[in-house]
Amino acid sequence: MNWSVLAALAFAFALDVPAASPPKSAECLTCHDDKGAAFQSSVHGSFSCTDCHTAIKGYPHPENQAKVKCDTCHNDPVSGVKASVHATASAQPCQGCHGDAHGILPASDPKSSTYASNLPRTCGGCHGDAKFAKQHKISEVYSMYMDSIHGFALTKDGLLVAASCSSCHGSHKILSKRDPASRTNRANIAETCGKCHAGPNRDYQAGIHGQGMATGDARAPVCTNCHTSHQIADVRTASWQMKTTATCGSCHGEQLKTYHDTFHAQVSALGYIETARCWDCHGFHDIRPANDQKSTIAKANLEATCGKCHSGVTKSFVSYQPHADRHNRQDYPILWASSIFMNMLLASVLGFFALHTLLWLMRSLSDRRKGRPAEGEI
Amino acid sequence: MKYDDVTTVGRPATAPDGAPVSPDQGARYYQRFSVPQRFLHGFLAVTFLGLAITGLTLRFSAEGWATTLAHGVGGFGTILFFHLFSAVVLTIAFLIHVANLVYRIVARKEYGLVWGTNSMVPNLKDIQDFIAQIKWFFWRGPKPKFDRYAYWDKVDYWAVFWGMAIIGLSGYAMWFAPFFARFIPGSLLNVALLIHGEEAILAVGFIFTIHFFNTHLRPDNFPMDMVIFNGRQSEEELKERHPEEYKRLVESGQLEKLRVEAPPRWLQNFGRVFGTTAIVVGFIFLSLMIVAFVKE
């Protein structure tokens, strides 16, 4: 090559550098070659360095540059985070979840930290730390989630439709459950869960619990009251079914007490799954009061309900009282009277013979101490 | 002292002059209970223990020991299985007993079973004996002279009859609930469970305290009366415990017909092991029951 051409080129470069157009990425990599490979394959790989590092106009550039503003392009996510519980989380809130700024991968990439099945681990970086949880007065939810039916499905089975953190909490604008606008606020839980569980949600809305919620009854339970929020178990497992009675009983204390007096409860307490628990008779999501014609415990439906377990059910059979209270004279007079009678029978028979036995014992011992008197002697 | 070593464990028998006598020596034995009667008692004892253990586990299912036991035997299903199994065996034994009684009374015309000294039916003498016994407790009279069955024997016997009827019927009503509900309102099934449980607590409380004391643990019989296991009693025992029967048998010349050999050692040992096991198991579950009952 002609040296004059070279010189011309060099001159042109020299002129070009301090001019308005920013340096090419290749030039940046002369120094910042450590960023190159990751950046090339990142979601931003087609951009040049100065698309984000807008303040850099040439070389050499000042040491301390203004922070990259992600919201230049990602306005919604960034303003979401700014309004969320993570607003003050760190100086670089985006990188906390999306990882190294130069290697950000799209959420659809299995290697991405925000890929559905990687997300729990990403969030767990903070929310799986007991010290962190204590410091922020929140639960250490990572391990709870990982052992849940959602956690298993997503991370063990790779079932990508299974709920990940963001499915319920959202991704950028995560709000405290105390915030009425939060997806995990009590008022919005059914809708949040219902995004996937449409059937249960439809049933729940029709049932007394959903109706209670709709009319603003503060006592009405939402999904998480029964299923918990992070430890959600497979409802077909014995361990879950064993717990359900206590769960219902935490609100329905009186019913739990009366249930405990029945054979159903006695066998279920011993770990017998195939016995009637609350939801076997009452249903679960569309629980309705007995005066509702559609209720499983409406008079007309009792034979079908009891018949789920008992064969040969008759009208007479279903007059059985699964919540009979022997102390309630008004509603269960025969049971009440039987209870009184049995108590009196027990007390009188055992009391009488206890006395008989005691007197006998005393007399016999006295005889033995004195030396045995002759037959028939007093 | 009139103790016979055969009926006592751990205490050497002594002759009236205080010299120890070896077992079986010099004693004449008479049959009191036949082999079928002893088997009936055995079946009754085993099935009653089985029903009591499994039943108390069900009745007090909220107790820690109940769940531990249920899990220990392979879950609740096993508990209910043994409860029902024992119930069926006991029912069969009970029905055989009743059938035998009916046969002997109707076909063989043994009316002595219905009324008289060999009958379990209470009579005037039982009331007199009872009053006399109460007087004796207070040093107000001599010890009554009992015939073949003392009044507490009859109480024991009829308590089982009553218990079988009440607990058995209510139990079967629950077991075959839909069938029974054809004849009784379903709400009576609530009553059935209540009666079943309470009556069972009465039965357990009665057998494991009153029966154990009356027949086995009271000082005169301590630690247990072997007669139900070996079927025999010595002449001394017969004279002391059933003086009227003894007198009657001597006068009618029937006594020698009942004469049997002394109980063999294996039978004695079997009876001791069986009886001790029953009493120990009974006491364990009695204490568990009392604690759970009081907690309720």
Q: Which of A267, A317, A320 sits opposite B190 (nearest CB)?
A: A320
Q: What is the pLDDT of residue A58?
A: 80
> B190 and A262 in contact by Cβ < 8 A?
yes
Q: What is the pLDDT of residue B180?
A: 92
A contact residues 100-129, partner B, Cβ 8 Å cutoff: none
Q: Could you report the per-residue pLDDT of A89-107, keeping only the tens digit for each?
A: 776 778 889 988 899 999 9
| Mutate: best of B3, B61, B176, B208, partner A, most A CBs <10 A | B61
Query: If pLDDT is split at 50, 70 and 90, which confidence band does A3 have?
Result: low
Query: In 10 A of CB A246, how many CB atoms?
Result: 10
| The pLDDT of residue A22 is above 80 | no
Q: Could you report the per-residue pLDDT of A194-228, keeping only the tens digit for each?
A: 999 999 999 999 999 999 999 999 899 999 999 99
Q: Which of B178, B198, B213 sits opposite A342 (nearest CB)?
A: B198
Pairing, β B259-260 against β B29-31: antiparallel
Pairing, β B259-260 against β B232-234: unpaired
B15 Cβ under 8 Å from any chain A Cβ? no
Chain centroid to Cα A336, Å, comes to 43
A364 Cβ under 8 Å from any chain B Cβ? yes
DSSP result, A4-38? HHHHHHHHHHHHHTTSSSPPPHHHHHHH-GGGHHH
The DSSP secondary-structure symbol of B11 reads: S
Q: What is the pLDDT of residue A375?
A: 46
Q: What is the pLDDT of residue B54?
A: 93
Q: What is the pLDDT of residue A90?
A: 73
Percent of chain A past pLDDT 90, that is, above it, reads 59
Residues of chain B in contact with residue A308, where contact means CB-CB under 8 angstroms, are: none
Tell me the one-letter amino acid at B269: N
A contact residues 177-216, partner B, Cβ 8 Å cutoff: none
Residues of chain A in contact with residue B82, where contact means CB-CB under 8 angstroms, are: none
Q: Which of B181, B209, B214 sits opposite A316 (nearest CB)?
A: B181
Percent of chain A past pLDDT 70, that is, above it, reads 92
Q: What is the mean pLDDT of residues A326-338?
A: 93
Q: Which of B62, B199, B206 sits opposite A342 (nearest CB)?
A: B199
B74 Cβ under 8 Å from any chain A Cβ? no
| Mutate: best of A260, A263, A331, partner B, most B CBs <10 A | A263
User: Which of these ranges, A173-187, A266-280, A329-343, B75-89, has the smallest mean pLDDT?
Assistant: A266-280
**Between residues A267 and A277, which one has the greater pLDDT?**
A277
Q: What is the pLDDT of residue B9?
A: 37
| The pLDDT of residue A25 is above 90 | no
**CA-based nearest residue in chain A for residue B184:** A316
Q: What is the pLDDT of residue A17?
A: 45
> A319 and B187 in contact by Cβ < 8 A?
yes
> B139 and A318 in contact by Cβ < 8 A?
no
Q: What is the pLDDT of residue B19?
A: 41
> B177 and A377 in contact by Cβ < 8 A?
no
B220 Cβ under 8 Å from any chain A Cβ? yes
Mean pLDDT of the residues in chain A: 87
Q: What is the pLDDT of residue A8?
A: 52
User: In DSSP terms, which residues pair with B260 in a beta bridge?
Assistant: B29
Query: If pLDDT is split at 50, 70 and 90, which confidence band does A368 have?
Result: confident
Asked whether the beta carbons of B115 and B154 are under 8 A apart, the reply is no
CA separation, residue B262 to residues B5, B250, B267 (Å): 12, 20, 10
Q: What is the pLDDT of residue B127?
A: 95
Helix ranges (DSSP H) in A73-207: 75-83, 93-98, 119-127, 130-135, 141-146, 149-151, 165-169, 189-194, 198-206
Asked whether the beta carbons of A304 and A295 are under 8 A apart, the reply is no
Q: Which of A270, A320, A356 sits opposite B186 (nearest CB)?
A: A320
Task: Tell me the two tokens of residue B47.
Answer: 């099935």
CATH (one of 1.10.287, 1.20.81, 1.20.950, 1.10.150) for B32-105+150-222+263-296: 1.20.950
Half-sphere exposure in the Cβ direction for A113 (13 Å, CA) = 17
CB pairs under 8 A between A and B: 149
Report phi then psi at A41, rounded to 5: -95, 5
Residue B16: is it exposed, middle or buried by C-beta count within 10 angstroms (0-12/13-18/19+)? exposed
Asked whether the beta carbons of A359 and B137 are under 8 A apart, the reply is yes
Reported ipTM = 0.84
Query: How near does any CA of chain A get to the CA of B131, in Å?
Result: 12
Asked whether the beta carbons of B32 and B232 are under 8 A apart, the reply is yes
B16 Cβ under 8 Å from any chain A Cβ? no
Q: Give dist(CA A205, CA A200) in Å, integer.
A: 8
B177 Cβ under 8 Å from any chain A Cβ? yes
Query: How near does any CA of chain A get to the CA of B98, in Å?
Result: 25
3-class secondary structure, A151: helix
Q: Give dist(CA A178, CA A189) in Å, integer.
A: 12
| The pLDDT of residue A15 is above 70 | no
Q: Which of B193, B205, B214 sits opposite A263 (nearest CB)?
A: B193
> B139 and A271 in contact by Cβ < 8 A?
no
| The pLDDT of residue A344 is above 90 | yes
A266 Cβ under 8 Å from any chain B Cβ? yes
Q: Give dist(CA A162, CA B221) in Å, integer.
A: 73
Q: Which of B62, B71, B136 sits opposite A271 (nearest CB)?
A: B71
**Mean pLDDT in runs of 10 for chain B (296 residues)?**
36 42 65 92 94 92 88 85 95 93 92 88 94 93 92 91 91 93 90 93 92 86 86 89 91 89 90 92 93 86
Q: What is the pLDDT of residue B7?
A: 37
Q: What is the pLDDT of residue A6?
A: 55
A364-374: buried (b, 16+ CB within 10 Å) or exposed (e) per residue?
Answer: beebeeeeeee
Q: Give dist(CA B115, CA A62) in Å, integer.
A: 122
Tell me which H or E stretch contains B233: strand B232-234
* Residue A220 CB contacts under 8 Å (≥ 6 apart), including other chains: A209, A210, A211, A212, A213
A contact residues 314-333, partner B, Cβ 8 Å cutoff: 314, 316-321, 324, 326, 332
Asked whether the beta carbons of B285 and B69 are under 8 A apart, the reply is no
Query: How near does any CA of chain A get to the CA of B210, in Å?
Result: 7
CA dihedral A132, A135, A136, A138 (to 10 degrees): 70
Per-domain residue ranges for chain B?
A: 1-30+227-256, 32-105+150-222+263-296, 115-146
> B178 and A317 in contact by Cβ < 8 A?
yes
